[in-house]
Chains A and B, each alone.
Chain A
């Protein structure tokens, strides 16, 4: 039971950081990219396992490479080739499924929160805080970039560097989420709280606050609920998130 409390707290931190990072991703209209991005982690995990190194490290390496790819495409093409990213990332999911050992596959796809020890949990909390702080530092520049690339360039903002820092943060957060909800669902932790918050927010401040609150809620409701029902944590957390989205959708103000 003590373990459950600890895991819920760790999950809350990861979900909060994911939701914060995700709010910008939704504004950048990169939701689908964010979701597909998380699939890239699978081949990374498989390769790490076969080399006997930490699967999170493998996931993080794969995600970093993918993030650099997205960054390059974003920088060098006028029309963002979202379809291309979708194809490439689902292809890497297919390859990942083929090369992952069958015993590890389920855990990699849907996560296994029970395997998180105290040390790993503490490191996860610290990394979540650091990533959130980094995003907080560049958030104004990110928002100006969302509004108009011309405005941000005229403001002498180096939008390429800002985007790179942002995408690396997404990569780190997605790797943290994998332990909880797996590679298939970690994109949901990033995207859904933000989309739900956007439904009911009338200012940037309330958008960030509600997004983070929804992220935390889905962790602190979903994780204990999964224990009580003896069901896997990942899907229950994501379904909690989706229910929050549906409720906000019903309260959405007509524009």
Chain B
């Protein structure tokens, strides 16, 4: 398998305090890697290090000529910012057909009979007037412009999906099946991680576990990661 990303001895310090300590792992093409861990475990910092947004020690080696799409966790747009969603895409010099494809991929396409067209309400609206769920999907669609090889997705701490809608994870899963892209996501929902990801990295300053979710989500590693009493396995029985 092709290596997409190799991390060796990654250490990130902020104010002389180690946020990530000596982390190493390798990511292969087509995998969906979930980074899990308690608050303050260094998950977002890991993303910042691998995208070059923060200084680090150690090695971060991306495969050559890789295009990376990044969806940051914190994303707040002023409601009076005079920028339509369409103009937001044009900032990346996106063609109309590309915008349409990207919106289709994230489930923001309106179906009128047999004709599919981008939701006019979304394209013509101000970016700051979109709902939380719409904005998140638009940001993902924006990251998809230019067909990235890797998508980095930092999940917001609180869920933004409306009940009844396709979840953002189903969307990402479909996207992956369609394009074969490699996805790295930070998630707080272990149940979702178990369902949609191939590899899990448990992070609590250092690597606590790494491997397929069914192997690494043992009571021992979860206790080590989140403290005693954390478990997800009781969710799956008798529903």
Contact = CB atoms under 8 A, between A and B. Distances in A.
B80 A255 contact: yes
B82 A201 contact: yes
B80 A202 contact: no
Interface residues of B, number: 24
A150 B72 contact: yes
Given A154-B68, A203-B84, A255-B129, 13 more contacts: A140-B93, A147-B77, A147-B83, A147-B88, A151-B142, A153-B52, A198-B80, A202-B84, A203-B82, A203-B83, A204-B82, A205-B87, A207-B82
Nearest to A27: B81
Contacts of A153: 51-53
Interface centre among B70, B87, B91 (most CB of A within 10 A): B91
B126 interface: yes
Interface string A183-210: 0000000000000001001111111000
B82 A143 contact: no
Contacts, number: 51
Interface in B121-174: 126-127, 129, 142
B181 to A, nearest CB: 16
A202 B125 CA distance: 8
Interface in A141-183: 143-144, 146-148, 150-151, 153-155
A27 B74 CA distance: 19
Interface string A129-141: 0000000000010
Contacts of A201: 82
* Chain A interface size range: 20 to 34
Main DSSP-derived SS at the A contact region:
helix
Contact of B87 (A146, A148, A203): A203
A217 B53 CA distance: 43
Nearest to A201: B82
Interface of B: 51-53, 68, 70, 72, 74-75, 77, 79-84, 87-88, 91-93, 126-127, 129, 142
Nearest to A211: B82
A203 B127 CA distance: 10
Interface of A: 27, 140, 143-144, 146-148, 150-151, 153-155, 198, 201-207, 255
User: Which 9 pairs across A and B sit closest by C-beta, in order of nearness?
Assistant: A154-B70, A207-B82, A201-B82, A150-B72, A140-B91, A204-B87, A204-B83, A203-B84, A153-B53
Contact of B51 (A148, A154, A203, A207): A154
Contact of A144 (B72, B81, B91): B91
Given A144-B91, A154-B53, A204 B84 contact: yes
Nearest to B154: A150
Contacts of A150: 53, 70, 72, 74
A146 B51 CA distance: 19
Contacts of A202: 82, 84, 126
A206 B93 CA distance: 18
B83 A143 contact: yes
A140 B79 CA distance: 19
B15 to A, nearest CB: 12
A198 B74 CA distance: 25
A198 B91 contact: no
A146 B53 CA distance: 17
A151 B72 contact: yes
Given A147-B77, A148-B75, A204-B87, A198 B82 contact: yes
A155 B53 CA distance: 11
Contacts of B88: 147
A112 to B, nearest CB: 36
Contacts of A155: 92
A208 B91 CA distance: 15
